[in-house]
Amino acid sequence: MKSSSDRGAYRACIVGCLCLLVTSALAQSNKTIIGPSNLHLHDGANALKSGDVEEGIRLTIIGLQQSASARDRQAGKSNLCAGYLMLGQLDTALAYCNEVLSENDQHWRAYSNRALIYVKLERFADAEEDLKKGEAISPNAKTLKAVRSMLLNETDPVSPTIVIDDRRSPPENSDED
Partner 1 sequence: MKTRFRGAAVLILLLAAPLGVSEDNTIVTHFTDDTGERMPLQTMVPVYPGRALADRIEGEVEVCFNVDREGRTSRIAVRRSSNRLFEKPAKLAIRGSTYAPLPQSEELSGIKTCRTFRFLLDPVAIEVPGEISVDVEP
Binding site for partner 1 (CB under 8 A): 145-146, 148-149, 152, 156-172, 174
- Complex with partner 1: residue 91 or 156, whichever CB lies closer: 156
CA 172 to chain centre: 47
Closest approach, Cβ 166 to partner 1, in A, equals: 4
The CB-of-173 to partner 1 minimum distance in angstroms stands at: 10
Closer residue to partner 1 (CB): 71 or 132: 132
**Shortest spacing between CB 167 and partner 1, in angstroms:** 5
Angle between helix 142-155 and 108-120 (nearest 10): 20
Q: Shortest Cβ distance from residue 113 to partner 1 (Å)?
A: 19
CA 18, 19, 20, 26 dihedral sign is positive
Nearer to partner 1, 91 or 176 (CB): 176
**Of 77 and 148, which has the nearer Cβ to partner 1?**
148
Please provide residue 105's backbone torsions phi and psi, each rounded to the nearest 5 degrees.
Answer: -85, 15
Query: What's the start-to-end Cα distance of the chain, in Å?
Result: 101
CA distance 40 to 72: 11
